[in-house]
């Protein structure tokens, strides 16, 4: 049951990560907004992975669904990360 806790903590930390940079640069605000939106998607998908993984390990009615959902969400997270830009 350790992975869901660590995954949830990682997704939470991603939301509060401070990103330094030259905010005087042209289009700095737009770039920061885009980065923050990407991080929100990463965090939401990470929470989904953590929750689905935790439910896949517990005997619940939807256990078989969650056993297939968490690896799928992990693939989605990987696809999102391949498109990350700063």
Q: Assign 3-class secondary structure to 45-59.
A: HHHHHHHHHHHHCCC
Q: What are phi and psi of 22, to 5 degrees?
A: -80, 100
Q: How is residue 38 written in tokens?
A: 């990407």
Whether residue 41 contacts residue 80, with contact meaning beta carbons closer than 8 Å, is answered with yes
Whether residue 54 contacts residue 7, with contact meaning beta carbons closer than 8 Å, is answered with no
Q: Can you give the pTM of this predicted structure?
A: 0.75
Based on its alpha-carbon atoms, the radius of gyration of the chain, rounded to whole angstroms, reads 16
Read off the pLDDT of residues 10-69 as tens digits, 9 standing for 90 and up.
Answer: 777 767 766 666 667 677 778 788 888 888 999 999 999 999 988 998 898 899 999 999
**Which residue did the predictor score with more confidence, 1 or 40?**
40
Report the half-sphere exposure of 17 (CA within 13 A, side-chain side).
Answer: 18
């Amino acid at each position: 049951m350790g992975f869901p806790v660590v995954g949830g903590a990682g997704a939470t930390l991603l939301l509060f990560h401070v990103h330094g940079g030259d905010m005087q640069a042209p289009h700095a605000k737009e770039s920061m907004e885009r980065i923050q939106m990407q991080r929100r998607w990463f965090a939401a998908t990470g929470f989904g992975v953590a929750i689905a993984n935790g439910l896949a390990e517990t005997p619940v009615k939807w256990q078989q669904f969650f056993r297939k959902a968490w690896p799928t969400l992990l693939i989605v997270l990987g696809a999102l990360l391949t498109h990350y830009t700063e």
